[in-house]
Each structure stands twice: as C-alpha cells, then as structure tokens.
Amino acid sequence: MTKVERRNLKYGLLFVAPWLVGLTVFNLYPIAASFYLSLCDYSVLQSAQFVGLANYVDLFTDEVFWIALKNTLYYAALALPLGAFIAFATAVLLNTGVRGMAFYRTIFFLPSLIPSVAAAILWLWVFNGEYGVLNYLLAHLGIQGPGWLSDPAWSKPALVLMSVWGVGHAVVIYLAGLQDVPQQLYEAAELDGAHWWQKLRHVTIPVMSPVILFNVIMGIIGALQTFTQPYIMMPGGQPARSAYFYTMYLYDNALPYLQMGYASAMAWIMFLIILTLTFGALRLSKRHVHYGV
C-alpha cells in the first residue's frame, strides 16, 4: 500500500468513525448484551447470573406468555389484512382525478400524525360503552353497541378497528407507487376492452406488488409490536387479559418485575417470530411480486 493509499484510508476511516461508533454503541452492543442477558438471571439490581437456556424453557411453560402471544397473533391476523386492504383501496380512490383530492389526501393522512398516546385517549372516548360516540351512532341505527373495552370478546376487535383509522402512512406509500404505474399499460388494457376491475387486477396490482409487499412486511413488524394503545386503554390487558399483548408482558417483566433476563429472552423470541414471518412473506412473494414492467 502506497503512502497516498494509507492516507486516504486513514481519512476515510475518520469520516466513517462517527457512524461506526454509533452503530457499535447504540446497535451492536445492545443486541449482544440482550442476547447474553437472555441466558442470565438478571434483576437489574444484582449482577447477572448465567443460567443457560433456563429463561427460554420457563417461557414455554409460562401460561401468561402463551396468552400474550395468542392475543398478539390474533390481533395481527385481523389488523394486518384489513389495514392493507383499506389502505390500498383508499389510495386507489384518492388517485383518481376528483376535485379537491389534495384535501381528501390530507384528511386521510392526518390520523397517522397524531401521537399514539393522544390517539389512545381519543379512542377511549369513542369506545366508551355508555357515552361513547360509536355506540351513540349505533343506537341511532337501532343497534345496541357492545362494551368495546369491557367485554373480552370485543377488546381486540376494538383495537383492530382503531388500527385501521391510522393507515394514512401506508396510504401515502401506495399513492407514491400508483403515480409510477405507466399510463400506457392502462391505455393498452382499454384498447383490449378491459373494464376497471380487470385493469386493477391485471395492471395496477402486479405493478404495485413490490409496494404491497413492503407495506405488508412493515405491517407484520408493527402489528406484532403493538404496545401503546392497549397499554393505555386497557391497563394490565383487562378485561380478563384479553388485550394483554406480547410487548406488554415483555415490558412488565423488564421494568415492574425487574426480570431483565426473562424479558431479553422474550425479545429474542419475538425477533425470531418476526424474522420467520418476514422470511415466509418474502418466499411467498416470489411468484406474485413483479419488479419489472
């Protein structure tokens, strides 16, 4: 290596040093530490004691762990496809040439800008079983609304309904993708006599498939990490732990119970679940996602 090459290497390392330090301190070290702590009995107040796979074994015999995991997967199975469908359908409608479309786009995007805590407090009022707005509207239709936040059968559907309200960020991503669909494809489809559904099915959806895949993967990650809304609206997962989500149990173990090693093991299991579902989505997408027009 010549003197000039050594000097360029030194300057290059100096330029990337802040990023490398940040990556190590704020990413690599916490990841490595969490994995080590998942193999330890660590209560934060005392030094960690290595216990091997004991935390993982205890998790699989923990009834509350399975309740929290079941609730989370149930919520994700409802919220993810419903949110993806509504976001895509809304984006297609907003992509038309109706007057005042910029106003409508803003209205649909605004809910995703509201802080999660503020949105949770707002929906506490909407879902109130006696004085809530939703049950008030249902009563005018002759329907007796349920106790959304007090009935175990309706607690998770209520959160699913709330999640659909905040799909504005996905709508914006879909809108950006719709702008890139070549117009000549629509024109060719019209010449072949295709109506709106055929154009949507055979032109829009195939071209938009990479964007749909991206939103689905982000939706998987977001749905499995739901925390703020159920934590504020239904403390402790009440009623009857029907809204006790995985992240809530992880948080309780880490801070109130001071079982940091147990919580770290839960975090790694969550990571493996998300990794598996993401890998499965990518494998299933090979036949349905088209990256070229």
Tens digit of each residue's pLDDT (9 = 90 or more) over 134-156 = 999 999 989 888 999 999 999 99
Residues listed for the chain? 293
Query: What is the pLDDT at residue 187?
Result: 86
Mean pLDDT of all residues in 159-179:
90
Tens digits of residue pLDDT in 68-111: 999 999 999 999 999 999 999 999 988 887 777 788 888 888 88
Q: What is the pLDDT of residue 183?
A: 87
Q: Closest Cα to residue 150, out of 131, 132, 129?
A: 129
> What pLDDT does 112 receive?
85
The residue with greater pLDDT, 243 or 288, is: 243
- Is the predicted pLDDT of residue 52 greater than 80, yes or no? yes
What pLDDT, on the 0 to 100 scale, is given for residue 97? 72
pLDDT category, 166, cuts 50, 70, 90?
confident
Which pLDDT belongs to residue 44? 84
Label residue 196 by pLDDT band (50, 70, 90): confident
CATH architecture for the domain at 54-287: Orthogonal Bundle (1.10)
State the SS3 of the chain: CCHHHHHHHHHHHHHHHHHHHHHHHHHHHHHHHHHHHCCEECCCCCCCEECCCHHHHHHCCCHHHHHHHHHHHHHHHHHHHHHHHHHHHHHHHHCCCCCCHHHHHHHHHHHHHCCHHHHHHHHHHHCCCCCCHHHHHHHHCCCCCCCCCCCHHHHHHHHHHHHHHCCHHHHHHHHHHHCCCCHHHHHHHHHCCCCHHHHHHHHHHHHHHHHHHHHHHHHHHHHHCCCHHHHHHCHHHCCCCCCCCHHHHHHHHHCCCCCHHHHHHHHHHHHHHHHHHHHHHHHHHHHCCCCCC
Q: Is the pLDDT of residue 293 over 60?
A: no
193: alpha, beta or left? (left if phi > 0; alpha if psi -120 to 50): left
- At 276 the pLDDT is 96
Is residue 159 pLDDT above 60, yes or no?
Answer: yes
Tens-place pLDDT, residues 109-121:
888 888 899 999 9
CA contacts within 13 A on the Cβ side of 15? 6
pLDDT in tens, 231-285: 999 998 888 999 999 999 999 999 999 999 999 999 999 999 999 999 999 998 8
Tokens representing residue 248 in the block: 């809530």
- Domain ranges for the chain: 54-287
Q: 10 Å Cβ neighbour count for 94?
A: 20
275: left (phi over 0), alpha (psi -120 to 50) or beta: alpha
Query: What percentage of the chain exceeds 70 in pLDDT?
Result: 99
- For residue 125, what pLDDT is reported? 92
